[in-house]
Structure 1
Amino acid sequence: MPEWMYILLLTLMAGLAMPLGGLLATLDSFRPNWLNEELRHSVTAFGGGALLSAVAFVLVPEGIEPFDPWLSAGLFLLGGIMFMMIDIQLDKHHTSAGQLAAMLSDFIPESIALGASIALGKGSSVLLALLIAMQNVPEGFNAFRELKASSRYRSSTILTVLAVLALAGPAAGLLAYYWLASFSELVSGIMLLAAGGILYAVFQDIAPQVRLEKHWGPPLGAVIGFVLGLMGFMLTHKSIHI
């Protein structure tokens, strides 16, 4: 299979996890009370665990390779500041599409990293695609519920929007493959920026929504999400014995 088609399939699979998450959110219409508060918090926590595993096992380890510690730390911090500025602007405009913007702000840099990793012959592309898909399911779930609650869009319209946004992944991945792969340090910088931004998003948007009084399932969801990332990391690095 040509590499460009491989990138297309991986990024499309990861992107289509967004409308899949939205589709799961529609189950509330058919089975009232099924999406109870604890389950919603658990889904959110799972997404947080998956995001942290992407940061810990892919974005930071590969991002720091060409840089010294000071530059690595600076890029990581800059990523957090950039995401903070995006967060501030979304709050000022009170847009109902805040969750969509947050979702794309990590999906696009990760898709760029995926395309570049294949072009550079690195072995983390499948792992990264799985992690992106894992986080996109709960993000699509939350984006659907946010848009449904704050707008008059029909469910089918929201799902169509999520499906169209999924195409941003293949576009970013192919762009990286054909152009950015020639600039390996730039790709590493993008990885660190994305990692810092994702960490900011986890503690700004995800972690505060997770905790519930006298419920212990949501924090466990974060652990499960991270563990799945750990398993993917170990299974794709054959030098590590489970």
Structure 2
Amino acid sequence: MLTKLILFAGFAGATVFLGGVLANLFNHHVKDSPVKYETIHTLMSFGAGIILSALALVLIPKGMEELDVLPMAISFAVGALLFMLIDVKLSKSGGQTATLLAMMMDFVPESIALGAVFAIEPSMATLLAIFIGLQNLPEAFNSFRDLVQSGFTTGKTLLIFFFLSFFGIIGALIGHYFLSDYPNITAHLMTFASGGILYLLIQDIIPESKLENNYLTSLGASLGFLVGIIGEKLI
């Protein structure tokens, strides 16, 4: 059973590295053109839609299910405030890591949830692993671009993504062995992440994905959210 959990979590995390590899290939082997620019912004918007679906369909509902109003509100507010402070600090240094932060803030809590539910509902854990993997692919694609624009080399960025891909296994094992009997802690973690993710989406990711005089790019967000709806319905 442990091997199966590691395989599921490994798949969910592997798409982080795969998204970085695909972004690198796209940047170097597709010529600059309006179509390339529109594709990049559409993928950013698509990723924002998927992140929003994780927030609305997985993270917040889990917090609402397990927590009372005041603890839930405090966790959410602390997440939003903390990531506002992080964003202010990063903006002063010229970094562009909002998409990476948002990706990790839904990837890690969901991986922990994957481990926590694996022993109880294996079928749900299987679909959750697929859902997490599908989320990570466009998010990693966009995060790779942001990090490279921030001054990271291609090699260093891919190395970061390679190590981040193992966070899924680490999170799943933590959830399985330490948090499966403590749903309140998992709920607090998810609600905290929700506050930070929502802040990052509105402040950085959604404005960056907008392209003037182009309306199809914004449709990407709706399609990304639809992927989340389908995934949640299957789960």
TM-score normalised per structure 1: 0.84
Matched, 1:47 2:43: no
User: 1:1-242 residue pairs with structure 2 within 5 A?
Assistant: 2=1, 4-26=2-24, 27-33=26-32, 36-95=36-95, 99-121=99-121, 124-151=124-151, 153=153, 155-236=154-235
Distance 1:130 1:48, change over 3 A: farther
Whether the aligned pair in 2 keeps the contact of 1:46 and 1:138 (CA below 8 Å) is yes
3-state SS in 2 of match to 1:144 = helix
Are residues 211 and 98 of structure 1, via their aligned partners in 2, closer, same or farther at CA, if it must alter by over 3 Å? closer
Deviation at 1:157, TM superposition (A): 4.1
1:54/1:131 contact within 8 Å kept? no
Q: Is the 8 A contact 1:113 1:176 kept in 2?
A: yes
Q: Tell me, in whole angstroms, the C-alpha distance in 1 between the residues paired with 2:46 and 2:119.
A: 30
Summarize deviations over 1:96-129 as a string: whole Å, max 9, x none: 6665445333322222222123245486434443
CA deviations over 1:164-185 (Å, ceiling 9, x no partner): 2111111111012111222211
Unaligned runs of 5+ in 1: 237-242
Q: Which amino acid aligns with 2:68?
A: D
Higher helix fraction (1 or 2): 2
Give the CA deviation at 1:131.
3.5
**For residue 12 of structure 1, what is the amino acid of its counterpart?**
G
Between 1:31-40 and 1:170-179, the stretch displaced more is 31-40
> Deviation digits for residues 195-229 of structure 1, max 9, x if unmatched?
22221221122110122121112211110111111
- Is the alpha carbon distance of 1:127 and 1:194 closer, same or farther for their aligned partners in structure 2, counting shifts above 3 Å? farther
Q: How far apart in 2 are the matches of 1:152 and 1:188?
A: 34
Q: Name the SS of the counterpart of 2:65 in structure 1.
A: coil
Change (3 A) 1:42 1:152: closer
Residue 63 of structure 1 contacts residue 191 of structure 1 at CA under 8 Å; is this kept in 2?
Answer: yes
Structure 2 residue matching 1:215: 3-state secondary structure: coil
Equivalent pair of 1:90/1:98 in contact (CA under 8 Å): no
Secondary structure of the corresponding residue to residue 180 of structure 2: helix
Q: Does the Cα contact within 8 Å between 1:58 and 1:124 map onto a contact in 2?
A: no
1:160 to partner: Cα distance: 2.9
Q: Residues 11 and 160 (structure 1 numbering): CA distance in 2 closer, same or farther, change over 3 Å?
A: same
Structure 2: which amino acid aligns with 1:110?
A: E
- Alpha-carbon deviation of 1:149? 3.1
> What residue identity is the alignment partner of 1:86?
I
- Equivalent pairs counted in the alignment come to 233
The amino acid across from 1:9 in the alignment is L
The Cα of 1:60 is off from its aligned counterpart by 1.6
SS at match of 2:211: coil
